[in-house]
Amino acid sequence: MPILSNTLFVSAFSGEIDLLLKSGKFPHLIEGGIGNINCLLGTNEYLSNHPEIKEILFIGSAGSYPWSEVQPGSFVASRTFYSLEISSALGLSKQIEITKEPFSFPNSLSSRISEIAAKRTFSFFEKKTTNAPSTLTLHEMKTPPEAVWSNLDVENLELYGLAALALRKKISLEAVLAVTNSVGKEGSVDWQKNWREMSNTLQTFLLDVF
């Protein structure tokens, strides 16, 4: 029970944790909110009332970048988080310089997660890098628009805000993500088609892990 009693499980919206909620196994399980700012604020409010929390596990979905080995239909674990905006890479805006360096966290729950994932038939990738911009990337890309983008594997909208909060609180953060689509103009359409089934698979997997 110590892992569950000291770990906060967070998702952007309740549909991604509905099976976990029904299980009654998780004492700290919340819907943080969609987007970096909403998820940061929602999670911070919970942490302020629960000083016993030592780590956060984010449960959600992501799109994969074309140059990544990660493909839609797979699952990833991530502990390194950027916030790079495509508008800046295209010269349409100026990127805040502090986001050029990622937020990274040491191993926390990975060994237990990967051990059980190895027994499953789905593709599971460890140690992948997540980009969490403030808006969805709709630009079609075949190659990285800037050199730093070659480090990125998947895109999610909540994890940079959570990473900033976790560092401020001196707690650990890890994400487990269902890769529902490729990043691009059809990403949202494909997400709508795939997120429910993949969320069920991911949640069932986590019920076995914990």
Q: What is the CATH number of the domain that holds 164?
A: 3.40.50.1580
User: What confidence tens digit (pLDDT) does each residue in 53-94 have?
Assistant: 999 999 999 999 999 999 999 999 999 999 999 988 878 887
Q: How many domains does the chain have?
A: 1
pLDDT, averaged across the chain: 92
Q: At 182, which helix (H) or strand (E)?
A: strand 172-182
Measured CA to CA in angstroms, residue 112 lies from 30, 140, 176, 208 at distances of 22, 36, 12, 11
How far apart are the C-alpha atoms of 133 and 96, rounded to whole Å? 11
Q: Using the 8-state DSSP alphabet, how is residue 17 labeled?
A: S
How confident is the model over 153-186, as pLDDT tens digits?
999 999 999 999 999 999 999 999 999 999 999 9
| Mean pLDDT (whole number) for 129-141 | 94
Assign 2 a pLDDT band (cuts: 50, 70, 90): low
Q: What is the pLDDT of residue 98?
A: 55
Q: Would you say 51 and 151 are in contact if contact means Cβ atoms under 8 Å apart?
A: no
* pLDDT at residue 170, as a whole number: 95
Binned at pLDDT 50, 70 and 90, residue 115 comes out as confident
Range of the domain at 139: 2-209
Q: Number of C-alpha atoms within 13 angstroms, CB side, residue 183?
A: 29
Place of tokens 């409010």: 45
pLDDT tens, residue by residue, 32-58 = 999 999 999 999 999 999 999 999 999
Q: What percentage of the chain carries pLDDT values higher than 90?
A: 80
Q: Is the predicted pLDDT of residue 1 greater than 50, yes or no?
A: no
